[in-house]
Structures are given as C-alpha cells and as structure tokens.
Amino acid sequence: MANPRVLLGAALVLLWGGAVLAQFPEPRLTSLSSPGGRAGESVTLTVAGVDLEEPALRFSHPEITAVRDEKDPKKFTVTVAAGVPAGLHDVRVLGIHGVTNPRRFEVGKLPEVEASAKAGSRAEAQELQPPCVVRGAAIKQQTSWFKVPVVAGRVLRIECHAAELDSRMDPLLVLADSAGHELVRTRGRSLEWTAKADQPLFVAVRDFIGNGGVEHFYRLHVGGPSDLPLVAAESPLVLWKGAGDVVKEGEPNDLEHAARLTAPFEVEGRFFPARDVDAFRFEAKKGEAWWVECVSNRFGQPTLPRVVIERSSQTKEGGEVFTDVVEIKPAPWFPGDPDFDGQHFDPVGLFEPKADGSFRIAIRDLHHHGDADSGGRYVLSVRKAAPDFALVCAPLPPVVNKAFKTFTGPAVAVRGVNLRPGQVLPLRVMAVRRDGFQGEIRLRAEGLPAGVTAEECLIGARQSEGTLLLRAAADAAPWCGAVRVHGEGRIGETDVRHEAHPSTPLWESTGSEFVEPARSRFCAETAVAVVADASFPVVLKARTTEVEATVADKVRIGLKLERSGEGGAAVKVKPQGFDGLDKAKEFEVPVSAEGGEYELDLAPLKLGPGSYTVWFRGEEKVKREVKGKPADVPLVLCSNPVVLRLKEAVKK
C-alpha cells in the first residue's frame, strides 16, 4: 500500500465518474513574508503555498541560510551573511514532495522596520527614521501612512519594490506636507522631492486598485539619493550584449543638426524632453546589408520607439531634402507567452540600400513621455549581421487542467521540476533567433544526478522551440540540485554553444479575461528534484528513434508500454513536438510486449524539408489511497523523442 503522505497534500480532489480523482502533490510557493533582509543580520520569514510538507529553504546564494522554527514549520529564521551582495536572490522551498518554483528575496544594506497595520490615516502615520527599509503588505481598500522628517534643501527619495519581488501589488505612492496637501504622486516608479523647509512629510502607500493581502507584499526604501542609488530596471529581453564602443548622443542632434557617424555604430541616448526627436547621419552603399535595432522598451522603459531611415538628395536649387526609405518595425519573439513573454515594441530589421547615398536615421518615442525619472533610455545600433541564438527553458506542467479553458487558452501553472522514479518530465526550450540564423540547435543537459538522463532533442531549422525530456530510472535516489540546459548550433563555420536562461511564470491564471495577464521572469537556476514519495509503475517508450522520409509520406513509429507490475489497460497517446500536431489523431497503445505502431500522415502538416523532433504524451490512472479511501490518480506519460529527417517529396 502506498504511503498515505503521497496524496495527503494533493492539490486537486474532484468527484469523477463515481470515484475520487486525485492528483500527485505538486509543491508551489506563493508568497514570502517578509521577502528580504539586511546583510549581516537575521530576519523571520514565513512561507505560504501548496504541498509544503516538511519544508526547507534553498537560496540561490550559499551564504543565505535558514533554520526552521520548531513550533511552526512554515516559519524560518533567515541569516544573511555580511558579504552577501545587495540585490535580488531566488529562494525555493524543498520538501518531501519536491522543490517549488522560486520567489525573490531582496538583500539590502539599510536598517529595516516592519510596517504597522494601524497606520491607516495621516494622523496615525508610522514614524520613520531614514534611511531605512519598511517591510509590509498592502491592506485591501486601505492606505498605509508613514511620517518622514526632512531637512530644507535635502532630496528625499522613496522607492517601493513590489513587482521586482514577484508581488502582485501595483504600488501607488503619494507625498503630502504636514497640512495634508499633496505634493507629488507616482505609480510603479520612484518618488523624489526636494524639501522646502524643516518639517515632517507624509508618505501614503497603497495598491493602485485597492487590492491587498499576503500576495501584495512590498519593501519601501526611504532615504536620500546616495542612500538609494537608482537601480537599472531588469532587462530580461536584452539577450545579447552591445558591440562595446557606444557613442553617447550629444545635443543638439535633432533633424536639423543630425550627428554624423560611420556605420557600423551604436549610440546611446534619451527620449527627453517630451516629443524629442534624435537624428544621426551615415553613409551606405548599394549591396550592403545593415541590421538596424533599437533597444528601449526592453530596458523596462514605458516607450514606443519609432525608427525611420531617410535618404538625402539635392534640389535643383542646391538645397537638401530627405525622403523616407523604410520604417523599421517592432519584431517581438514570443508575444504574450506565459513561459517567456517576449512581447516588446522595439524596432529591429534589415536595411539594404538600393543605391549609394547619404542617409539619416530618425528616432522618437511615440508615447511622448519625456519623463526625466524613467530616463527614456535607448540604444540604437546600425551593424553588420551577427547571426546567433539564445535559449529560454521552462518546465511544462505535469497535468493539463482541462477545466480551465477559455478563448485565451489553457491555464498558466506555476510549477517546479519534480521527477518521481520511472517518470519522464518535459522541459520546454524556446529558441530566440537573431539576424536571420535559421540553423538546427541540439539540446542537452548537464549536472544530472545518477539515475536521471536527458533525452537529447533537436530544434530543427527555422523552428522556435523544442522539448528536452528528463527521465528518472526506477531506482533513482532522492536528490535536489541545479541542472544546466544548453544548445549547440553551427553558425557559418563556427560551432556555437549557449546555456539556456531558466524561466518561471509568477502566478497561477485560469485564463479568464478578468485575470491579469500571465507574467514570467528569468530565475537563477533550473532546480530539479527527484522525489521518493511515489513511483511511476508504467513507462511509455518509442521503439523507433529516427525516421527518414519525404514531407508527403506516412511514417510508422513503434510504441510500447513497460509496467513494473501486473494489470493495466491500453493508453491513448497523441504526438507532440511542433506546430500542427494538435490536429493529429490519437492512438491507443495496446497492452502487449510488442505494443503497436502509430501512423503519422505528414502531408497535411505541410512541413518543409529538415529535421523535426516528435514525442508522445498519454495519461493512465492508477489506484492509490487518499485519506483512507481508494482513488484514481492520473499519471502523465511521456515517451522518448523521435527525430524525423524529411526531404522534399519526389514529383511524379
């Protein structure tokens, strides 16, 4: 009989067909209270989430350690060593059911205080002694007030860190004088004010739409500019470093005074003041190919850059006129994807002059912010092609929750990577291609423990993603550690290898139009756990590993089931791996030593010649005991991959 703890913390228990349907525990970390501490000190931290039995904390920095409270297993004393650098670090919970998704933990250098729940009005404002950091959480439909002494002529700077910490809070800050008159307000950005007199000022903090609770936590930094240096926004979409030599824009550099540069070049500037237009001149010849790219929105700036290239020509009178040649359009990679939201508004594209000439490139922000606080930073480059690729890795959900489906698609599941003995678990790897690189990318994994292997996967030419399958042997021992996923490709005559950026979605979503869009971020590592709370009694295997065919053929792939015990039924499976397979037919793998053969008709998929990786996914229910009652537990079965090498069909 299975250990009752296997399913005691099950995330979902439903009534299905007269029997109880339960799901394997999938630990999930939702919030930390409080999500940060001062270097050289200790802080009390409480974790909240699902299936966190017998928890321990795993920090991405080895000198942040935690000791669990003997009376409250969800409470820890976290000690931050004096040498830990200020900034953001990841923390996960590791328990008997595996490892969770990460959450952010901020290390600072300033004294810290807890926010008072009683400071709900200006008259009851909590007094602060800056510089300091206030740890707190937004209270639903309520404003928290803080009283800050200031000195005439001194600059007061306030930063509310929330989204940076994976919080749901959308901070609204208001600064008022002692009479209650509002001086300045800001949403989601820092607040700065030069004091006119020696007097206390009042800071109001709330969620923009009045939300609150433990998932709306924040850290309020209060002090002067030297106490709180302006930290550059995280730039998860800036996947390649610049050329190195960056030219700073010099004023004036408007349309009438365009700065002259020699291509290739990279220039850094600002959209300031409002409606600012910057311009740069360069020479180009027919037959040349220049990649033009602006990076601004990807720096976290609220900008909508527009880049236009104009050609210079002479009038009959000897004057100079400019004619639009091309507008460089935005080119997002994975718009709206919950595993890696590559949506951005930065222009990037190819410029190929049809004749020799002098050209002017004009750049402006269509949002016209001109905000000195946000900076309006941009980097504009005109460069030769530098084909390359970057990779982003995210775990696929272990169970597809079919109840959560709307016009926007399936639910977003926050998850860790937890393997049980005998299980195969898929990791989704997305390829971001640069400057026309369309070659194959072979995926591999390193740092795996004994008993765990990675089935190599090929992201074919012109394809944007693949699936790396981790397999745990039936005798795999409990383990937790960081696994590195990397891809290998050939660019020209050079072999190139890049490590994948681990990514995680931040919050569960049912796909409802009323729920905030799914957000994701990069994390410090791909943490993997082998969990000993249960095992998979059945394995789905593809007997075929490679197939050569034409794009119009029907290919046959052998599949079989391997069970560790008696019994079991046939399993319905469907192919996975690339676009179009969602319409492929199901196949029932029979209960026999030989299994069966799946026939895949390639013609309707309209694939081009090249290499493709396909694998199969199915579900089987097994009997387990939940709270003393029998239950059917669905197991998601994943096969090893099969490489399809396709060539053009022979014309008759």
pLDDT tens-digit map of 308-329: 999 999 988 888 999 999 999 9
Residue 374 has pLDDT above 70, yes or no: no
Residue 74 has pLDDT above 70, yes or no: yes
Helix, strand, or coil (residue 119): coil
Residue 129 has pLDDT above 80, yes or no: yes
Helix or strand (DSSP H, E) at 361? strand 357-365
pLDDT at 39: 96
Cα–Cα dist 587/269, whole Å: 58
Q: With pLDDT > 70 as the criterion, what percentage of the chain qualifies?
A: 89
Please, which pLDDT band fits residue 22 given cuts at 50, 70 and 90?
low
Please, which pLDDT band fits residue 499 given cuts at 50, 70 and 90?
very high
Phi, psi at 582, each rounded to 5°: -65, -20
Closest Cα partner for 504 from 102, 61, 94?
102
Q: Which residues of 61-93 are buried (b: 16+ CB within 10 A; e: fewer)?
A: beebebebeeeeeeebebbbeeebeeebbbbbb
Q: Which residues of 177-192 are buried (b: 16+ CB within 10 A; e: fewer)?
A: beeeeeeeebeeebbb
Whether omega before 225 lies within 30 degrees of 0, making that bond cis, reads no
Domains of the chain with bracketed CATH: 1-22+536-652 (2.60.40.10), 25-108 (2.60.40.10), 112-223 (2.60.120.380), 247-385 (2.60.120.380), 389-533 (2.60.40.2410)
Q: Mean pLDDT throughout 354-368?
A: 94
Cα–Cα dist 507/487, whole Å: 28
Closest Cα partner for 27 from 96, 124, 73, 121?
96
Q: What pairing do the DSSP bridges indicate for beta strands 305-314 and 320-328?
A: antiparallel
Residue 599 has pLDDT above 60, yes or no: yes
Average pLDDT over the chain reads 87
The sign of the CA dihedral 479, 481, 484, 485 is positive
Q: Mean pLDDT throughout 550-575?
A: 89
pLDDT at 622: 78
pLDDT at 406: 38
Residue 175 has pLDDT above 90, yes or no: yes
Residue 512 has pLDDT above 60, yes or no: no
